[in-house]
Structure 1
Amino acid sequence: MEVYDYIEQLQNLISESSKIPFSNKVIVDQEKILTLMDEMVKALPEDIKKAKKIIEERQRILVEAQKEGEMIIKEAKEHIEKMVDQNEIMKTAREKSEELLAASKKAAREIRVGANKYADEVLEQLEKHLEKILASVKKGREELNQRM
């Protein structure tokens, strides 16, 4: 179960608890709250593992893009070397290799930017999710401390 589900359960438990007359306070089952919070703490490492996998995937994509870019550059250089002997062919080869080099650099840059953007979006979502969890946990603790 994800941490978000535990937070929903906590919210439901609080909203369904008996209210104290003439106040906005409720009586909650401390054991249920603490059990849910323990489960939430156990689920956090899974969310962190997911974030780590996303970062590793981003790194793999970046390495792959770099290798692909290097391969394209190598192929362009090899292509140029084969055509060096003939003057007109050499001129054409240089132009094409520059185009290939520019295209490969652009493609590698776009892949890198896309991978970074994707990783940033996923990490941003995880950050927001963890902030919500932390806020819920703090609120729950504050309410528990107010009842003591």
Structure 2
Amino acid sequence: MDIQHLVDRLEDLIDEGRHLFGTKYTMLDEERALEIIDQMRISIPDEIERAAKTIQQRDRVLAEANEEAARIVQQARQHSEDLIDEQEMVKQAKVRAEFIIEQANQEADKITQEADHYVLAQLSQLEQQFAHTLDEIRNGIQLMQHQEPAPAEPVVAAQAAPAPQQVVRQQPINFERPAPAAAASP
């Protein structure tokens, strides 16, 4: 039986009792009062047991909630650490990629400069060879123009031979590479 119900019954018994005039005493039905008290003695252990079970259940629920909260906090902490690690790896990969790109650009610039120097050296050498050959050709032409004419017989041969062509002097070709124009900024 519910302890609260028994307390209410005891209170009703007191209210129904006879009050002794001029005193604080009340006459009760002793048998009914003892019966209610006995029922209270029986109910109190049940109530205490229910309260203990309720407290145990509450403690168990709180422990489970605390465990779940700790697990969630640990998962969040681990997830946060994983994200930080992942971000650090991405950052390191970006730094490494930028370094590799910079090295590749420097190597490409070096190769381009070396190729330009090689081509310029080859063209300069070719220009010198052509200039030397051109000088030899001019010297040969001048030598031919300053020679004395051959006897009469060569006149017939001279008629058959074509007239020497006039040499047109050309300006030397400049093979030097012009300075690169400033790159347009984006």
Q: Could you tell me the TM-score, scaled by structure 1's length?
A: 0.48
The structure whose residues are more often helix, as a share, is 1
Query: Highest relative contact order (Cα 8 Å, sep 6+), 1 or 2?
Result: 1
Q: Which structure's CA Rg is the greater one?
A: 2
Q: Normalising by structure 2, report the TM-score.
A: 0.39
